[in-house]
Amino acid sequence: MPRTYTDYLGRKIFLFLFTAQGIAAFALITLGVIVKKLNVASNVVHPMIRREISRAGSRLFPMYMFVAVALGFLAIGQTVTVAARYGAFNYIGTIMVTVIVRELGPLLAAMLALARVGNANVIELGTARALGEVEALESAGIDPIHYLVMPRVIGMTLGVFSLTVYLILAALCSGYLFVFLQNVPLTPGEYFDELAGSLSWLDFALLALKSCTFGFFIGIVSCYHGLAQPVRLEELSRLAVRATSESIIACVFIDAVYFLLYLSL
């Protein structure tokens, strides 16, 4: 292999490790601040947390419903129709739970939150950093992690979790609507019995944990790139792209870890 390729690869690996270390440290610091200072300056910070939950949660609800209906029609409806054609009703529940509840639902919800709010976080915090607002906070004795990062990370974590639940519920319902329109011989009772029969407590627990982990890391990665290093305004678009790529990698990595967890339990 030519030297230039190995040099390039080496640089990329070092950059990846350096970034991973920085993000891990930033995540630990943020967790520490959440544990220690959740109720500090509550009259200032709690309204900000509520605003971030609204921004990463309820305000995205219409878009999530649109995507959920599309997911239901395109993925669930077609899968059920094909399964019904071969009389494979018994597998519908298992397929739906595996594809929608465990994998596609949480991942899709996380990607949408990343696109709508994660990028905005990078731009907002990067602008604040570039304009000297972070130093202004420090000079006033205000911890930027507490004031700027904590509300965004909590908002993103709770927002992604709740929207994942809504997205899955809406997708499963709209999926049945498609099945109904296709005149597939499957009653609502049979459909939802199949789903309920395939769900276990583990699915609920891991779904909650997984969607919260997705939200937490999207929040951390976007805030890290906006805030952790000195930045100039002209670098913001590059940082937003980088934060998006790294958030996707982080989500896929987390997904793989949870997949292994499903297999082992």
List contacts with another protein (CB under 8 A): 40-44, 124, 127-128, 131-133, 135-143, 147, 230
CB nearer another protein, residue 102 or residue 146: 146
How far is it, in rounded angstroms, from Cα 29 to Cα 31?
A: 5
Closer residue to another protein (CB): 129 or 210: 129
C-beta of residue 156 within 8 angstroms of C-beta of residue 52: yes
The minimum distance between CB 27 and another protein, in angstroms, equals 19
* Half-sphere exposure (Cβ direction) of 185: Cα atoms closer than 13 Å: 4
Of 35 and 140, CB closest to another protein: 140
Asked if 223 and 120 count as a contact pair (C-beta separation under 8 A), the reply is no
Q: What does the buried/exposed string (b/e) look like for 188-218 if buried means 16 or more CB atoms within 10 Å of the residue's CB?
A: eeebeebbeebeeeeeeebbeebbbbbbbbb
CB of 230 to another protein, least distance (A): 6
Answer for the pair 83, 89: CB distance below 8 angstroms, yes or no. yes
- Min. distance of Cβ 172 from another protein in angstroms? 39
Whole-number minimum distance, CB 31 to another protein, in Å? Answer: 16
What phi and psi values does residue 87 have, to the nearest 5 degrees? 70, 20
Q: Which is nearer to another protein, 9 or 131 (CB)?
A: 131
